[in-house]
Amino acid sequence: MKLKNQFFYTLRQESADEDSTSSNLLVRSGMIKKSSSGVYMFLPLGLRVLKNIEQIVREEMEAAGAQELMMPSLIHQEIYDKSGRSAAFGPSIFKLNDRYERPYVLGPTHEELFAIAAKMKVNSYKDLPFNIYQFQNKFRDEPRPRFGLIRVREFIMKDAYTFDRDMEGLDVAYGKMFNAYKNVFDRLGLNYVIVKADTGAMGGHLSEEFQAVCDIGEDILVMCDECDFASNLEVAEVISEGTEKGDEGEIEEIHTPNAKTIDELQEFLGEHPENFLKTLVYKVDGEFIAFVLPGNRQANEVKIGKMFNAISVELPEPEEIEEHTNGVVGYMGPIDLGIKVVADNSVLNNKSMITGANKKDYHIKNVSVPRDVKYTISGDISNIKEGDKCPKCGGKIIFKKGVEVGNTFKLGTKYSEALDLNYAAADNTLHPVVMGSYGIGIGRTMAAVVEQSNDESGIVWPMNIAPYKVYIVVIKDTNQEQMEAAEKLYNELNALGIDCILDDRKERPGVKFKDAELIGIPIRVTVGRGISEGQLELKLRTGGDVEDIGVSEIVSKIQEIVKNA
RNA sequence: CGAGGUGUGGCUCAGUUUGGUAGAGCACUACGUUCGGGACGUAGGGGCCGGAGGUUCAAAUCCUCUCACCUCGACCA
């Protein structure tokens, strides 16, 4: 691309309403522009990066035996009603009516449609397995779009779906896709970890997430400092200490005016939070249930939801709680609360605890969980925390933050059963097809790369996804010798399939250098005064000094750099 | 959905408290000087101040409604 007369611009200032390094750099370099909250335009330069990432994903999908196709975005809502996901997605699904008032949705993900398409092909066990995928815009009405391309409402996803006869077949298909995913993120040079995760609205048996490690990540990754344990916080199992803390004593009321939170109580009594019993009331599919856990642990709503196989787990308003229980918010305790009580594993043996008296301004002490707390169920309902024991090896737990760039699911038969995707086995009995689904957020991956690869001057694209590989700076666009040398190099590189930018704008050199760095082109060639001695300058975006190179060697040198990157 | 904030030229913002008919920097145009790391000077062009209604002789400024965007929280594959 010659910059003159092309749709190319950069901004010198940060955008006022971008909130992350990656979104600022992508906006400043003219690759994307926000269209409305959580919706972005991809401009020519940005689109090239997107397509490059897409191509890497495509190559790995094809290598894994997947076939590309394309589904519509506009889908009859009935299909999502049938699978129960209109409810599961709730307000996150974009809904609209056609002119006859028939309800449609903009597809948030496509398990249903792929299952329906698969019915065309699947009759017998001989028709399985197979694997199909697409790149397509997905729509999700996120409550709070954030961080540029990281959390958006319309985004391009590569979604793949595998179809097998049984779980053994799924294991094989899943393994292939899992490896393909590793290849993709390895090729992109991302620093990522793979964690076990909740299956959420997708359902099924297993979910693993590919998480790009970065500070603005919205997911907490739970890792072990000794073994390879890695899990999303949502599902990381807490190994309860099982200690028998304290001696049983008589319950005593203590006056604790205005000490409503664990922090205030700690301040007031001078006791460590682990000696408090925190009592939280959740509305689980409409039922008010109390959850008792140590003062130093957070409740985990995903675990609670699983415990009751519930669709919704929400924290009710204080008034609602007081209406439905005998408790007083701020002074809640599990004794005589009047509703079902669930105890966290880690408090079951504790015999000397402090908890709310269900009476304003009072707590009680010497509470023995085995003696005094009448719980219906116990289980693991809290978040693991840093410093806890690793559930796998007993090592120490550490946290990192991650951006979920890929997700794989062993779905099982959830969708095939809902949509009657069955096959006849060898004995002529009918069985539901066993499915897997696999997503990669393309735009989000692009943002994650920028988050991990930038410096004070701008983006540093890896060679294989850079929008162009070489940026040719012509120092003086009016100097004929310089322009001719630059054009010659430009043509030679293009002929070799090495995409390059020729900056032939009437700009001062400083402007061109700054732009080259901002947009992150890996190789910069400067055509300047040295040209009269047949010399060019070469500089890499990743660093290092400017190198003088003869005109005759420049092309082979660039080829070598591109090849070895 | 709750709380807070912001909408003024392409971009970043001042002006709003105390109404008087719109500014700065960057970007853009012309000319000149300069020109190998976001040049300088001079002269220009471009905005009915998010929208609607109201108060007033007069509204970017005050009042009402509304829309959009942002932050924190809630929520969330």
Q: Residue A242 pLDDT more than 60?
A: no
Q: What is the pLDDT of residues A506-534, one digit of tens each?
A: 999 999 999 999 999 999 999 999 999 99
Nearest protein residue by Cα to C1' of nucleotide B73:
A144
Nucleotide nearest to A11 (CA to C1'): B11
Please give the average per-residue pLDDT across A493-508, as a whole number.
96
Residue entry with tokens 């090896």? A393
A300 CB-contact burial (10 Å; exposed 0-12 / middle 13-18 / buried 19+): buried
Q: Whole-angstrom Cα distance, residue A422 to residue A407?
A: 26
A141-155, A202-216, A307-321: least confidently modelled range: A307-321
**Nearest nucleotide (CA of A305 to C1'):** B76
**Across all strands, nucleotide nearest A514 (CA–C1'):** B38
Q: How confident is the model at residue A245 (pLDDT cuts 50, 70, 90)?
A: low
Q: What is the mean pLDDT of chain A?
A: 92
Q: Give the contacts of A431 (CB within 8 A, at least 6 positions apart).
A: A125, A165, A166, A422, A423, A424, A425
**For the whole model, what pTM was predicted?**
0.94
A357, A363 in Cβ contact below 8 A?
yes
Which two tokens mark A420? 């009657």
Calculate the angstrom distance between C1' of B71 and CA of A19: 10
Q: In Å, what is the separation between the CA of A16 and the C1' of B49?
A: 19
At A321 the pLDDT is 84
Q: Is A394 left (phi over 0), alpha (psi -120 to 50) or beta?
A: left
* CA/C1' separation A102–B61 (Å): 48
User: What is the model's pLDDT at position A264?
Assistant: 82
For residue A114, pLDDT over 90 is answered with: yes
CB A287 within 8 A of CB A325: no
Longest dimension (CA), chain A: 96
- In the structure, how far is the CA atom of residue A13 from the C1' atom of nucleotide B69, in angstroms? 19
Through-space separation of residue A15 CA and nucleotide B50 C1' in angstroms: 19
What is the spatial distance, in angstroms and rounded to an integer, between the CA atom of A476 and the C1' atom of B30? 22
Stretch A184-190: mean pLDDT, rounded?
96
Question: Which of the four pLDDT bands, split at 50, 70 and 90, describes residue A435?
Answer: very high
User: Whole-number Å distance, CA A63 to C1' B13?
Assistant: 52
The 10s digit of each residue's pLDDT in A252-287 is 999 988 888 888 888 888 888 888 999 998 888 888
Given a cut of 80, is residue A56 above it in pLDDT? yes
Q: Which nucleotide is nearest to A506 (CA to C1')?
A: B35
Of the pLDDT bands very low, low, confident and very high (cuts 50, 70, 90), residue A316 is confident
pLDDT at A244 over 70: no
Would you state the pLDDT for residue A508? 94
Question: Cβ(A452)–Cβ(A403) under 8 Å?
Answer: no
Q: Which nucleotide is nearest to A27 (CA to C1')?
A: B11
**Predicted confidence (pLDDT) at residue A241 exceeds the cutoff of 70:** no
A378-417 pLDDT, tens digit per residue, is 999 999 999 899 999 999 999 999 999 999 999 999 999 9
Mean of pLDDT values over A39-62: 97
Given a cut of 80, whether residue A113 has pLDDT beyond it is yes
DSSP-derived 3-state class of residue A545: strand
Task: Give the ipTM of the model, two decimals please.
Answer: 0.93
Q: Each residue of A461-488: pLDDT tens digit?
A: 999 999 999 999 999 989 999 999 999 9
Note the pLDDT of residue A319.
Answer: 78
User: Smallest Cα–Cα separation from A61: which of A202, A173, A151, A154?
Assistant: A173
The SS3 of residue A431 is strand
Burial pattern A372-403, b for ≥16 Cβ within 10 A else e, equals bbebeebbbbbbbeeebbbbeeeeebeebebb
Question: Gap from A264 CA to B42 C1', in Å?
Answer: 67
Q: For A151-173, what is the mean pLDDT?
A: 96
Provide the positions of strand B that have an atom within 7 A of a protein CB: 1, 11-13, 25-27, 35-39, 68-77
Q: How far is CA A369 from CA A141, A242, A287, A353, A357, in A?
A: 43, 12, 23, 8, 14
Whether the CA torsion A39, A43, A48, A49 is positive or negative: it is: negative
Percent of chain A with pLDDT over 70: 99
Nucleotide nearest to A507 (CA to C1'): B35
